[in-house]
Amino acid sequence: MQGHVPTPFFRPTCATIDLSALAQNYRTLKDILPKDAQILTMVKADAYGHGAVPVARKLVECGAVALGVATVEEGLELRNAGIKKKIIVMGGLMGMGSPASGMMVGADLTPVVHSAEVIDFLEAVAASAKKRMAVHLKVDTGMSRLGARPEALPKLLERLSQCKWLFVEGVMTHLANAADHDFSSRQAKTLVESKGQIEAKLGPIDLWHIANSTAMLRGEPVAVPGSKTCWARPGIALYGATNGFALPKGVALKPVMGLESKIALLKHIPAGTPVSYGCTFVAKRPTYLAIVPIGYADGYPLALSGKAEVIVLGKRAPVVGRVTMDMIMVDVTDIPNVSVGDMVTLMGHQGNEFVGVEELAKKSDTIAYEIFCGISKRMPRIYKE
């Protein structure tokens, strides 16, 4: 394990974060965009479990035009770390009214506006601070989550047009199924149809954004017709995953996160011996077990019990029995010369073998996002360039 961790740790288990791979993925995505498109990099949810502050710093260094977070708290974490780049709070006020508005203005965060009800809070706080405040307006074109539906826009636009301290810097929507070209096209059409209505009330707005990772990789249009400035909003692709979407020919992404541990204990068990809680696995032969200190408290899913494989001495070995809170058991019977202290790769490369996040997600019956975001805070992150 290389790199630096700010506090000592005494368990040989960590998540490794390759910042050079992150930078390479950023450049790969930038290269497939139109030359005038800019990138709003998504670093919400602790940068998808990779560590918001180090990741944000690297992405700013790469040229990101802005950073996307979900909550005010996530924005404040970046500001408190000295990051000055524009921060877009995708979740807006989340029903918290004046307290959230005050923090937005004080920390120079840019909220996304989803309804007319939040305007009064933001306008009042901005007026009190005598500070012009940029907002982004979200139109719900088919996600049915946050954002104003087209029929709700008149009331919202009327209220925004009365504001003296708020101004709409950008307009956005969120693709619900970017892998479905027809559905995404209908969403884009709905957004374009709202453009005339929005600008008739608020005046010209230069910045519009819609494309996420999958849309970018599919080659979907990024720019909204008639807009002067376009952003793309990659998330999962920055971290080297596609959530099962096949990459286009000639495009490669590098995994950013790895999971590593070491063998803490080795033991021989005779045939017929049960292993772990529930005795769901019973050895059919004399078995050499490696005990590895990682478990579901670290974010290694319980659903991988009896399904996952890890890499030891360059060879795959099965996880046997139930994943426990702090430990897993691995059958290393067929791997010669195994010793306590040998490296165990749970996600990443070792020798010629590779276990990717997509493999773990499929075997867990979940998605890559959840695997990344589930890696717990007790797992040290080791940052490597």
277 has catalytic annotation? yes
Whether 57 has a pLDDT exceeding 90, the answer reads yes
Does residue 362 carry a catalytic annotation?
no
pLDDT tens readout for residues 287-334: 999 999 999 999 999 999 999 999 999 999 999 999 999 999 999 999
> What CATH number has the domain spanning 33-239?
3.20.20.10
Is residue 4's pLDDT more than 60?
A: no
Convert 253-281 into a string of H (helix), E (strand) and C (coil). Answer: CCCCEEEEEECCEEEEECCCCEECHHHCE
pLDDT digits (tens, 9 = 90+) for 128-158: 999 999 999 999 999 999 999 999 999 999 9
CATH fit for domain 257-384, picks 2.40.37.10, 3.40.50.300, 3.40.50.2300, 1.10.10.10: 2.40.37.10
Which residues, at least 6 apart from 183, have a Cβ–Cβ distance to it below 8 Å?
Answer: 142, 176, 177
Instruction: Check whether 187 has a pLDDT greater than 50.
Output: yes
Domain boundaries, the chain: 33-239, 257-384
Count other C-beta atoms under 10 Å from residue 258's C-beta: 22
pLDDT tens column, 92-134: 998 888 889 999 999 999 999 999 999 999 999 999 999 999 9
pTM metric for this prediction: 0.94
Give pLDDT, residue 8. 73
Tokens 């000639």, residue? 250
**Look-up of token digits 């990344």:** 372
Residues 347-358 have a mean pLDDT of 97
Q: Among the options 26, 30, 44, 300, which is catalytic?
A: 44
Fold match, 33-239 / 257-384: no
Catalytic residue among 189, 228, 267, 277: 277
